[in-house]
Amino acid sequence: MLPIVMNTREQITADMTANGVTTPFLLDDGTVSEAYGTLGKGMHAGLPGHSFVLIDRQGRQRWYGEYPSMWLAPQDLLDEIRSNLSA
C-alpha cells in the first residue's frame, strides 16, 4: 500500500516530517489520479479526494472509498480490502 500524492516532494516531505510519518510515497502529476477517476471527487476541484483505491495486479480498480474526514481506521480499511478482493 502506497500513498500517491499530487503535492510537491517538498510539501509532502515537510508534512510527513511534522507528523512523524515515514511511509514511502509516490508523486503523481495527475496522470494516475485521472486514470483511476479520482480527480475532483474531494474537497478541491481538480485534485484527488481523500480516498483509497484498490488496484489489482492487472491494474484494474477493484474498490474506491472516499473519506472526507481523511481517516479510516486500519481495521476498517483491511475489512474493505478483504471483502473486495474476494468479490
How confident is the model at residue 9, as a pLDDT?
92
Containing 27, the helix (H) or strand (E) segment is strand 26-27
For the chain, which residues score pLDDT lower than 70? Answer: 87
pLDDT, tens only, 14-38:
998 998 988 888 899 989 888 888 8
| Distance linking the first and last C-alpha atoms of the chain | 19
How confident is the model at residue 66, as a pLDDT?
83
The one-letter code for the residue type at 81 is I
